[in-house]
Amino acid sequence: MATSTSLVTELASRNKKIAAAHQPIPTFAEMGEMGVGLPHVIVLTCVDPRCIPEYFLNLHPSDGVLVTRNICGHIAPALNDILALDAFLSIKEIMIVHHTDCGATHFTDDIVRETMKKRLPSSSHTEVDNIKTFGAIKDLEQSVRDDIALLKAAPLVRKELADAAVGFVYDLKTGELTPVRL
């Protein structure tokens, strides 16, 4: 199995091939001249390499879709991004997508805490305990509901934006998105 260093080297060399056939992507100024609107939609999903929204939503730069990813696709770690993007761009919709077989269903927050404590001096353990969650979940649909509820309860998020959040579960086997009823 390749080490992470050699994989990074390989990825950088892959980029050379991609760049050789690259078509220039327009700047914001050029997009304005072309009549392409600024992005108004955020897709929030998991970091999992099997969960690629550019693939399962067939995204292109001209779609104006902003993608943010973290473990599971949770609202809490994405909140600063959502607030800043909304301030810049007046976001209209947020799409939250969690996925089947998510790694977040395979670990617990306690396992992460214990692993960290083994690697850190005991003086740091209280700080580790104070981190409320590392994103572990038990139920995919409930997790989507909880994240939407968190968005709606976030005091700095505009109500119209929180109300425009929709949740889905992406099935790795079928490729389909299923809406999550609130």
Known binding residues for Zn(2+) are 46, 48, 99, 102
Span interacting with Zn ion, options 1-9, 94-102, 106-114, 159-167, rule CB under 5 A? 94-102
Span interacting with Zn ion, options 10-18, 39-47, 58-66, 117-125, rule CB under 5 A? 39-47
Q: Does 147 bind Zn ion (CB under 5 A)?
A: no
Span interacting with Zn ion, options 10-18, 98-106, 118-126, 149-157, rule CB under 5 A? 98-106
Q: Are 85 and 66 in contact (CB under 8 A)?
A: yes
Shortest gap between Cβ of 73 and Zn ion (angstroms)?
7
Shortest gap between Cβ of 107 and Zn ion (angstroms)?
11
Residue closer to Zn ion (CB basis): 48 or 86:
48
Selected binder of Zn ion within 39, 42, 44, 48 (CB under 5 A) = 48
What residue ranges bind Zn ion (CB under 5 A)?
46, 48, 102
